[in-house]
Structure 1
Amino acid sequence: MDSQKIRTMEEFAALSGISRPTVSKYFNDPSSVRDSTRSRIERALEQYDYRPNIFAINQNRKLTKTIGILVPYLADPFFAEIVRNIEWRCIEAGYLPILFSSHGEQDLEVNALETLKSLKPAGALLAPLGRASDLEALKKFVDEVPTVIFDSDVEVGETFVGLDNFQSIGLMVEYLCSTGSPPCFLEMPPVNPNARKRRQAYRQTMEKLGLEPQIIHVEQETWDFERVGLTEGKRLIQERLIPSDTVLCSNDRIAIGLLAAAYESGLRVGRGPGCAMRIAGHDDHPWSRFTSPSLTTVAQDYESIARGSFEALFVLMEAGFSSHERNATYFEGKLILRSSA
């Protein structure tokens, strides 16, 4: 490897003996140059260990090779798994994924949108905060960048891909009712449309079965769901405020906290003899199979949501994102039976 430091594409072109326009053409699309030329460039890249500034290249393009991804809380393994699937699809298609997390904060979400727009992405995949989002900022962004909304179905943009919460919650409620006491529903203040839809789906399914919905609402608005499940769960257990021995939590992270609360309160969770309560969740959080007992839940189809979002984005990019008709794709959940319920 040559020890000379190459700083610009002009320097690389001069040292490799290949014209600057041809080198630029290669970096824009390697398949656009002849095989023999591509081999020469790639040998020179190995020799001089040169890598171009992809962001600088993108600023000179009308259509870049970057795709922006924004999620509300990357520390949540649910979003980490979705993003992992999306990133690989971007890379396999020859695009550079650029990831942002809003960390549950509106101003960080707005800043991420502004930064992403300045990078001139070919498109974007956004999972908005939901209730805390600045809808005007979101609308302005999707008016300028081909965008698919996933997970949180806010009324922004032309395309949404996510879960059918009414199907998935209905599936869980019917299972719990058929195998034991009808469940009560434990929720926090809804941070996005999914939480509201899950409450509605629970209520509708219980009423369809001729049963009285029993909703436990805890007033803590935060993304630290496990902590709320633990602290509020212990309080609810100690004060005997849980109206059923079966609890369906709005998501797995709350359920994981409630499992810990039951353990610390001396209650055995599960389906067998000697169990004081059943606990179920929703999402098939990557850690839910490793709780004790393992958590019964409804799995979201991570792969299909990632694939559907990515494919929908390519349709928008190719069409110039001007269909003016909103399209929504909802994938069904799958019941995952484990030891907790």
Structure 2
Amino acid sequence: MSEDKIRNMEEFSAKCGVSRPTVSKYFNDPNSVRKSTRDRIEAALEQFDFRPNVYAVNQNRRLTKNIGIVVPFVADPFFAELARNIERRCIDAGFSPSTFSAHGSLDYENEILDTIRSMRPAGVLLAPLGRASDKKKIEAFCQNVPTVLFDCNIEGIGAPFIGSNNFQSVPLMVDYLCRTGEPPCFFEMAPVNPNANKRRDAYRSAMERLGHEPKIVRVDGQGWEFENIGYAGGIRAFAEGGFPSRTVLCSNDRLAIGLLAAAYENGVRVGLGEGYSLRVAGHDDHPFARFTCPSLTTMAQDYKAISERSVETLLHLIEGGSADDSGCESLFDGHLVLRASA
């Protein structure tokens, strides 16, 4: 027997050369993994005499294998794609995920948290509404149920957060737009979560760093019907003489999709180069962004990395780890996706 002391599943996974989700899957049901993988894990168990904390945790808390996944608006393909990736990784780790949508409603979000509590979940992956959320309710929930926040953070509640680095992605887009044409104005609506505020602040900082005056255009409208808000705001802007720049950076892709529809109705040609009068860019790489007309230039979030880290962090909490030693915040950089709109 080796004298090396393995403290947790992450270290054991690294030692035996098997992925973290597969190791969890083995401990939940050894027959669920291939024989060659099972043999490798069992050889490592004998060598290092490792036993996972998950057994003791499950016995003490009488945990189920249920994992709750909560998103603010499941009809949004952006959140549907994130939830799909997270579900797949939970299943691979031997858990049973259930996805819930708050439909943009505080009452629904609170109701969902109560429902999940009654399911005695092993843990929860929560993308909160943000500004509309009941912070005290979520804080109390996180104190009783292992919870990881993703996409949207609520600071001060002590739960780990996994998301995108808006202060990397937005300046990267601003730099590109300024190099290739007129510096962009920023097209936004009333913020529904902290990401919107961070993107506006990142835009303003990037423009000032490049020596340009920030120009922010906020359109009327609240709620989660972003395309309608972008469309109505675009129609109004064109009727009033257009935007303060021939380049428009939208706070998110759904707003940009609405703006593209408004431009088409007004005969405004969107694209880069001679013969085009407006460039439009977005943020998120929404699953429909490549199918717009013209296809949308955007900043892509790393769905895969965010999903994987969210599940890995939750498994760490379920096995008895703390939020502090799991890393309270993990932010992933975006990458520029160049398409016809800009």
Tell me if the contact between 1:158 and 1:324 (Cα under 8 Å) persists in the aligned partners.
no
Query: Cα offset for 1:328?
Result: 0.3
The percentage of counterpart residues that share the same residue type is 59
Query: Structure 1 322/256 Cα, relative in aligned 2: closer, same or farther at 3 Å?
Result: closer
In the TM superposition, 1:241-280 aligns within 5 A as 241-280=242-281
**CA–CA distance in 1 between the matches of 2:143 and 2:178?**
45
Q: Which residue of 1 aligns with 2:122?
A: 122
Q: Which residue of 1 aligns with 2:234?
A: 233
Deviations 1:142-178 (A, max 9, x none): 0000010000011133310000001000000000000
Query: Cα offset for 1:31?
Result: 5.2
Q: Which residue of 2 aligns with 1:212?
A: 213
In the TM superposition, 1:55-134 aligns within 5 A as 62-134=62-134
Query: Structure 1 213/323 Cα, relative in aligned 2: closer, same or farther at 3 Å?
Result: closer
Query: Cα offset for 1:325?
Result: 8.4
**CA–CA distance in 1 between the matches of 2:130 and 2:332?**
19
- The normalised TM-score by structure 1 is 0.82
Q: Do structure 1's residue 157 and structure 2's residue 164 form an aligned pair?
A: no
Query: Cα offset for 1:272?
Result: 2.3
Tell me if the contact between 1:158 and 1:325 (Cα under 8 Å) persists in the aligned partners.
no
Q: Which residue of 1 aligns with 2:170?
A: 169
Letter in 1 for 2:87: E
**CA–CA distance in 2 between the matches of 1:217 and 1:133?**
23
Query: Cα offset for 1:242?
Result: 1.1
Tell me if the contact between 1:225 and 1:257 (Cα under 8 Å) persists in the aligned partners.
yes
Query: Aligned with 2:285: secondary structure?
Result: coil
Query: Aligned with 1:319: secondary structure?
Result: coil
Query: Aligned with 2:245: secondary structure?
Result: coil
**CA–CA distance in 2 between the matches of 1:142 and 1:320?**
14
Letter in 2 for 1:125: L
In the TM superposition, 1:170-185 aligns within 5 A as 170-185=171-186
Runs of 4+ displaced beyond 3 Å: 28-32, 320-326
**CA–CA distance in 1 between the matches of 2:298 and 2:145?**
36
Tell me if the contact between 1:122 and 1:317 (Cα under 8 Å) persists in the aligned partners.
yes
Query: Cα offset for 1:321?
Result: 3.8
- The normalised TM-score by structure 2 is 0.81
Letter in 1 for 2:135: L
Query: Cα offset for 1:324?
Result: 8.2
Please provide the CA RMSD for this pair.
1.9
**CA–CA distance in 1 between the matches of 2:114 and 2:321?**
21
Letter in 2 for 1:122: A
Segments of structure 2 that go 5 or more residues without pairing to the other structure are 1-27, 36-57
Tell me if the contact between 1:146 and 1:321 (Cα under 8 Å) persists in the aligned partners.
no
Bigger drift between 312-321 and 236-245 goes to: 312-321
Letter in 1 for 2:172: L
In the TM superposition, 1:311-322 aligns within 5 A as 311-321=312-322
Query: Aligned with 2:262: secondary structure?
Result: helix
Larger radius of gyration: 1
